[in-house]
Amino acid sequence: MTGPVLGVDVGGSKVLAVVLDDDGCVRLTRKRATGRGTDPDRLVRLVVTLLDEARGAGYACTAVGLGFPGLVDHAHGLVRSSVMLDGWCEVALTEELHSVTGIPCVLDNDVNVAALAELEARGSPPPSCMLMVAVGTGIGGAICLDGELFRGVSGVSGEIGNTTIDPSAEFCWCGRRGCLNVLASGSVIEELTPRLGREGAVTHAARALGVGIANAVQLLNPDLVVLGGGVLEIGDSFLAQVRETLAHEVFPEALAACRVERTVLGHAAAAIGAGRLAAQAGAGLQSSPDRSGTPGLTRPSRSLPRLPPLLPGRFT
């Protein structure tokens, strides 16, 4: 028994929070509109407010998990940078949250936690290789191998949104030209609609996304690609155009082995995944007398190391 936990999906334009009970069921959902100006202080205040609201509804949360849109050091609870939100560079987020809330706080990339929730929801056996791609204000990705998250050596794997599709295209928030982010995100569809019409903008984005996913499929040879994010609200035509592009760009051997599906958890995948991570952190706190090795778990007595930015000057 860990008690209820709060899972928070920090997005580029909104924050979605869920309270999970001991059985992992969603008991409460809250959504708040935010924006690029959601800096560390604002986010901490928002999480405190969400915890207060949960307590008022009868759920005194024992841990908080966050899915964050950026490069995250999960093991140290550190946000290294974000191209989606302003004011985030080497922020010891779980330490700051813990100092205010007094409960365990754990952090991971937003698509990573969404992928973990997606794996759990789909049950056994897990896919051999799952690529998750979330298309919202920006585009994020996560890779799971044999049911485990593959974070990469630096913990920043799966950044499909910042892979280059067209080097002659516009600059991305990350400082490079022609990333998938600036060709296929929900923001891009809105920007292109006045010029191309809604259908033209959607087609442009779906084809670019298809090329981006095709590159990843050629590289990974996955058996499952899961698409999530607000852009799927456009309807089946978007997914159909992504599949059509994949059929042109991917080896038939890879394509035949790969299912391309919508997320089974919908919008709530990242918030639920963050809640699952929080429950694990809370359980670890209760069961382990020595918590020094618990990934992402903040303890007030420990001074977290400040790591150098991955790419100095290129991320905001």
Among residues 14 and 176, whose Cβ is nearest to Zn ion? 176
Q: Per the structure block, which two tokens stand in for 26?
A: 């969603």
Nearer of residues 140 and 275 to Zn ion, judged by Cβ = 140
- Please report how close the Cβ of residue 315 comes to Zn ion at its closest, in angstroms: 9
Cβ neighbours, 10 Å, residue 306: 10
Q: Which is nearer to Zn ion, 138 or 275 (CB)?
A: 138
Smallest distance, Zn ion to C-beta of residue 177, A = 9
How far is C-alpha 181 from the geometric centre of its chain's CA atoms?
14
Closest to Zn ion by CB, 82 vs 181, is 181
| Nearest to Zn ion of 177, 291 (CB atom) | 177
Binding footprint of Zn ion on the chain (CB under 5 A): 162, 172, 174, 176, 179, 181
Closer CB to Zn ion, 50 or 165, in the complex: 165
Closest CA to 242 of 256, 225, 254: 225
Q: Measured from the CB of residue 141, what is the shortest distance to Zn ion in angstroms? A: 12
Rounded to a whole number of angstroms, the minimum distance from the CB of residue 183 to Zn ion is 10
Q: Could you tell me the smallest distance in angstroms from the CB atom of residue 182 to Zn ion?
A: 7
Q: Where are the alpha helices (DSSP H) in the chain?
A: 40-56, 93-101, 110-122, 181-184, 186-220, 236-249, 252-256, 269-287
Closest CA to 176 of 189, 190, 165, 188: 165
Minimum distance of Zn ion from residue 174's CB (angstroms) = 3
CB of 176 to Zn ion, least distance (A): 5
Angle, CA of 41, 44 and 49, to the nearest 5°: 125
CA angle 111, 258, 139 (to 5 degrees): 25
CB-nearer residue toward Zn ion: 81 or 280 = 81
The CA-based angle 137-150-242, given to 5 degrees, is: 45
Q: Closest approach of Cβ 162 to Zn ion, in Å? A: 4
Alpha carbon distance 40, 91 (integer Å): 8
In the DSSP assignment, the letter for residue 103 is S
User: How far is it, in rounded angstroms, from Cα 79 to Cα 195?
Assistant: 37
Nearer to Zn ion among residue 78 and residue 174 (C-beta):
174
Question: Among candidates 176, 254, 170, which has minimal Cα distance to 204?
Answer: 170
